[in-house]
Structure 1
């Protein structure tokens, strides 16, 4: 059986254990096959986190459209000549 470990209203871990499992860690083990780490748990309901639009990760094509300066290529190290 799958359990969501909930601490302060947030799922911090997902574990698989028998039904007679005794949870000895911080938080509470709540049976769930749908909850994911980072979800919230309130009033008996698991909910995915709310992602604000301006904090979403940009795709590679969106990043290419930004006005960021180009990145300089890394130069290979030069070998030192043996001078005596």
Structure 2
């Protein structure tokens, strides 16, 4: 993967992460609405979806970080142990 392609990929992964985190906040609002109306099953479902969105956002962030770190170490000379 060329460096330019990698930088585009990192930017895309981070943008997707941000979108998922924003979506998780919206899902949290739905959780609170259900909880306020004593709809515990609905609240549980929305909470699970919000947590799943946050987990996916965490995974995207991890991938972006690994890719970024690998780009940063490409130019460094290799060290012998």
Range of TM-score over shorter length: under 0.3
Using the size of structure 2 for normalisation, the TM-score is: 0.22
Q: Which has the higher helix share?
A: 2
- Greater relative contact order: 1 or 2 (C-alpha under 8 angstroms, separation 6 or more)? 2
Q: Which has the higher strand share?
A: 1
Using the size of structure 1 for normalisation, the TM-score is: 0.22
